[in-house]
Amino acid sequence: MIECGLHEEKAIAWDYPPAVSPHDFEPKQLSADGIKQILFAGRVCEEKGTSDLVKACELARADGHALKLVICGDGPLLPALRKHAGVREGWLELAGLLQNSDVHALMRSSTVTVVPSRHDFAEGLPLVIYESLATRTPLLLSDHPIFVRYFEDGVGIRYFHGADPISLKNQLCAVINDHTDYARLSHDTAQVWETLECPTKFADILDQLAVCWGMESADQETAG
């Protein structure tokens, strides 16, 4: 907003208190065997790369990797995905819209979270990224121009080429089969989350406004 002309002294970055924090969880280890669960949470559409992820999982399974893809959310691709063979075969689950706490639980139980947004999608910084990091679940991110501004490859996340299912498949298979790298990625999620966390919360803004308007702060009113 400052780049667009807002006076710097009027700009205050703030956030709501996080619903989940990496301090609530231990870093993960890659299980020795069993099915690896892959999670997508967001709008189910082409621009978000949902079909690219489904194709990547098909390719990985064809290479012999045991995995399950869980898709949370709603969108125009759902009717077609309901007819996908993966649903009948049991490796593709369409969970639909879920409570936020249920998504957190899925993130924690999943091996990786994937955000496959294509470059032409008007992406911001999705909450799913914050919350996956908070649950200590490594992320696979497309090399979307927004994402590459915030994250370093190999520190809590791995990049793949957007709109490229083969690149996504290769990176996915590399992560879910490397115990050492996976443990390091999970360990680093807390560090990455801290760089995104804004220390100023909405309540702090209200207190600042109260002072500017000559009113008691919320803390003073509570104490009174």
Range of the domain at 42: 34-196
What is the Cα 34 distance to its own chain's centre? 23
Per-residue tens of pLDDT for the chain, all 224 residues: 888 999 998 888 888 889 999 999 999 999 888 999 999 999 999 999 999 999 999 999 999 999 999 999 999 999 999 999 999 999 999 999 999 999 999 999 999 999 999 999 999 899 999 999 999 999 999 999 999 999 999 999 999 999 999 999 999 999 999 999 999 999 999 999 999 988 888 888 888 888 888 886 545 555 54
Q: Report if residue 1 sits inside a domain.
A: no
Number of domains in the chain: 1
Q: Report if residue 12 sits inside a domain.
A: no
Three state DSSP letters for 88-117: HHCCEEEEECCCHHHHHHHHHHCCEEEECC
Q: Report if residue 205 sits inside a domain.
A: no
CATH code for position 136: 3.40.50.2000
Q: Report if residue 109 sits inside a domain.
A: yes
Global pTM value: 0.90
The rounded distance, in Å, linking the Cα atoms of 35 and 39 is 13
Q: Report if residue 6 sits inside a domain.
A: no
